[in-house]
Chain A
Amino acid sequence: MSAVHEVELPDAASARAWGRSLATVLAAGDLVVLTGPLGAGKTTLTQGIGEGLEVRGQVASPTFVIARVHPSQVGGPALVHVDAYRLGSLEELDALDLDTSLEDSVTVVEWGEGLAEVLAEDRLELVIDRPHGGAGLSEEDLATADAGTRRVRVRAVGPRWADVELPTGG
C-alpha cells in the first residue's frame, strides 16, 4: 500500500518550511528515508523537521558520526538523524549504540534507499532531485550552484500513512 505525492521546493527556506510542516504529521516510531545526490538538500530538509519537532542542537550533516540524536525540548519524540552511506544495511543501526530507541524517536535516514525496507513496514520515502551539472567557470554560476528548485517525490508506504494528509509544497 503506497501513495505518491510530489512537491516543488524553490529554495532552501521553502525546503526548511516544508520540513517543519512535515514534522507536524510525524510521531514517535516514524521513519523517513531521504535519497538524493550530494548537495540535494537532505540535511536542509532535516533541519526543517528538527525545527518542527523542537529538538535540541544544530541539525547538521551526520556523515562523520553516522547518526546523531537530538533530544526533544518539549517532551516530544527525539530526532535520530542517520547517514546510511557507509552502512551495509539499516539493521546495522543497532550497531550504532544510539542512546535512544527508534520506537521513541522520529528517525530520518539519509542515503537509506534500498536499505530501509527491513527496518519498518511503514515509512515515508523521499527522493530529492537537484539541478545536475551546468556549473560553468564563472563566479556567479558557482555562487548560485546551490540554488535551484528541488523536486521531492514522496512515497508513503504502509498502513500508518494510509489516511495521513502530507503537506503540499512551498
Chain B
Amino acid sequence: MPDASLVLGIETSCDETGVALARIHDDRTELLVDAVASSVDEHARFGGIIPEIASRAHLEAMVPTIQRALGEADVDLGQVGAVAVTAGPGLVGPLTVGAAAAKALAVGLGVPLHGVNHVIGHAAVDEMVHGLFPERVMALVVSGGHSSLLLVDDVATDVTELGHTLDDAAGEAFDKVGRLLGLPYPGGPHIDRLAREGDPGAIRFPRGLTAAKDQARHADDFSFSGLKTAVARWVEARQDAGQEIPLHDVAASFAAAVADVLTAKTIAACRRHEVDTLVIGGGFSANSQLRELATRRCAEAGITVRIPPIRYCTDNGAMIAALGAAVVRRGLPASPLDLAVDSSMPLTQVTV
C-alpha cells in the first residue's frame, strides 16, 4: 500500500543520477536514503559535461540507483506515496530521462507526480538538515551553472528571484580561471586547494557590480566576467614579461573577490528585506573561502546561516525529495503526466 508520507525524489538535470526517499513528519522532513551515481569521470576528458554522454549515463544508472535507494532504506517500491522529479532547469536530454522514469513510476504505482525546480531544490534540501524553514528565508544558490539570490516566503509556493549572474556563474568563473591557469577540469576544487596556501590580499581583483552606480539596477545581481578578464590580463602581463605566475596568490586573490561579492550582496539583501535566516546551497557552496566568509559576516550581521554538508550541496536526489515533500506537505495538486521538462525553467516557478 502506498504511504502518502513517503516521497521518492529523482534528479537528473546534469551529470549526477540522484534518487532519494524522504518521509514527511509533522515537524520535519526526514531523509531516509540518498543514492547518487555520477558520470563526471566520463566527462573529465572533455573538460566539462557532454549532454549526450550524460543522458546515456542516466539511462544506464536509473534503475540500479532506484533499486539501491529502496534497498538501503528497506522500502518496497509499492510503499512510495508520491514521486518528485526535476522538471528544470538543466540539460534537456538528462531531464527527459529522469522525467520519463518518474512518469513511469507514478503511473505504475498510481501515485501523484510532482515536477519541481532544481535550483529551488538546492535550498529546500536544507529542510532535511537544519529543520523546516521559518516564514521567510534568503537563499543563495551557487553552482557551476547558477548564481542566484532567492527570497523564499514559502519554498513550495512563493519564491522571488531577486537577482542572478549577468554573465558567468560563480563555479563557471572558477572553471574558466582554472583553464587560464592550466589546471585540470573542473578547476574549482584545484583553485580552492591552491588558494588555501596563497595570500587573498596579494592582488586586488575587481568586485563586479559593487560600484555605487550599479546599486539602482543590479544591487542583487552578480557579475564575474570582469573579474575573469582582470585575471586573464594580469596573467598575460606576467607571461609577456617572462615572469612566473604566483598560482597560489592568484587563486587566493581571485577566490577572495568571488566570496567577497557573494557574501556582501547577499547580506545586504537580507538587511533590505529584513530576513534573518540565510540558506546557501549548490555545488559552489563547497568553496572554503565562501563558507568561511559567509559564516563570519553572518555572525557579525546577526543572521543565522544554514549551509548543508557538502554532499547535499552538489546535485542529488535528496534536494528533489525535500522539495517534493514540501509540495506534498502543503497538499498541492499533482503535475500533469504529460509534463514537459523545461531547460530554462524560471526560478520563480517551483512546480509544474
Contacts and interface: CB of A to CB of B under 8 A. Distances in A.
A134 B237 contact: yes
Given A64-B171, A97-B92, A39 B233 contact: yes
Given A63-B48, A66-B51, A97-B55, A133 B166 contact: no
B176 interface: yes
B344 A68 contact: yes
A39 B225 contact: yes
A164 interface: no
A69 interface: yes
B50 A66 contact: yes
A131 B230 CA distance: 11
Contact of B203 (A85, A142, A146): A142
B165 to A, nearest CB: 6
Interface string B258-278: 000000000000000000000
A64 B226 contact: no
Contacts of A130: 229
Interface in B63-101: 90-93, 96
Contacts of B344: 56-57, 68-71
A64 B239 CA distance: 27
Contacts, number: 129
A68 B344 CA distance: 8
Interface of A: 37-39, 43-44, 47, 56-58, 60-61, 63-71, 85-86, 95-99, 130-137, 139, 142-143, 145-146
- Across chains A and B, which 8 residue pairs bring their CB atoms closest together, nearest first? A39-B229, A97-B93, A146-B226, A135-B233, A133-B236, A145-B230, A95-B52, A133-B237
24 contacts: A37-B232, A38-B229, A43-B225, A63-B175, A64-B144, A64-B145, A64-B175, A65-B51, A65-B145, A66-B51, A68-B344, A86-B47, A95-B52, A96-B51, A97-B51, A97-B52, A97-B55, A97-B96, A133-B233, A133-B240, A134-B233, A137-B234, A142-B234, A146-B229
